[in-house]
Amino acid sequence: MVKRIISCAVTGGAPVTGRNPNVPVTPKEIAASAIEAAKAGAAIVHLHARDPETKAGSMRVDLFEEIVGRIRDDGTDVIINLSTGDGAMFSPSKDDPSKAGPGSNMRTAKERVAHVVALKPEICSLDFNTMWFRTRAFVNSPEIISEMASYIYEAGVTPELEIFDTGDVHLAKHLMSTGAIRTPAFFQIVLGASFGASASAETMLYMRSLLPPGMQWAAFGIGRDEFPMVAQAMILGGHTRVGFEDNLWLSKGELAPSNAALVEKGVRIMHDVGFEPATPAEAREILGLPKKS
Provide the number of structural domains found in the chain. 1
Task: Decide if 229 is inside a domain.
Answer: yes
Given a cut of 90, whether residue 126 has pLDDT beyond it is: yes
Task: Decide if 143 is inside a domain.
Answer: yes
Task: Decide if 293 is inside a domain.
Answer: no
Per-residue pLDDT tens digits for 193-232: 989 999 999 999 999 999 999 999 999 999 999 999 999 9
| Residue-range definition of the domain harbouring residue 134 | 2-287
Task: Decide if 292 is inside a domain.
Answer: no
Peptide bond just before 184 cis, omega within 30 deg: yes
Per-residue pLDDT tens digits for 166-180: 999 999 999 999 999
Task: Decide if 129 is inside a domain.
Answer: yes
Check residue 135 and give its pLDDT: 83
User: For residues 280 and 16, what is the distance between their CA atoms, to the nearest angstrom?
Assistant: 29
Per-residue pLDDT tens digits for 85-112: 999 999 999 999 999 999 999 999 999 9
What dihedral do alpha carbons 105, 142, 111, 132 form, nearest 10°?
Answer: 20
What share of the chain has pLDDT > 90, as a percent?
Answer: 94
Task: Look up the pTM and report it.
Answer: 0.97
Check residue 275 and give its pLDDT: 97
**Nearest 5°: phi and psi at 140?**
-135, 95
- What CATH code is carried by the domain that includes residue 252? 3.20.20.70
Give strand pairing partners of 81. Answer: 46, 123
Between CA 227 and CA 174, with CA 203 as vertex, the angle to 5 degrees is 120
**Nearest 5°: phi and psi at 39?**
-65, -25
Closest CA to 122 of 77, 87, 85, 92: 77
Mean per-residue pLDDT of the chain: 96
Check residue 17 and give its pLDDT: 73
Check residue 2 and give its pLDDT: 93
User: For residues 37 and 214, what is the distance between their CA atoms, to the nearest angstrom?
Assistant: 29
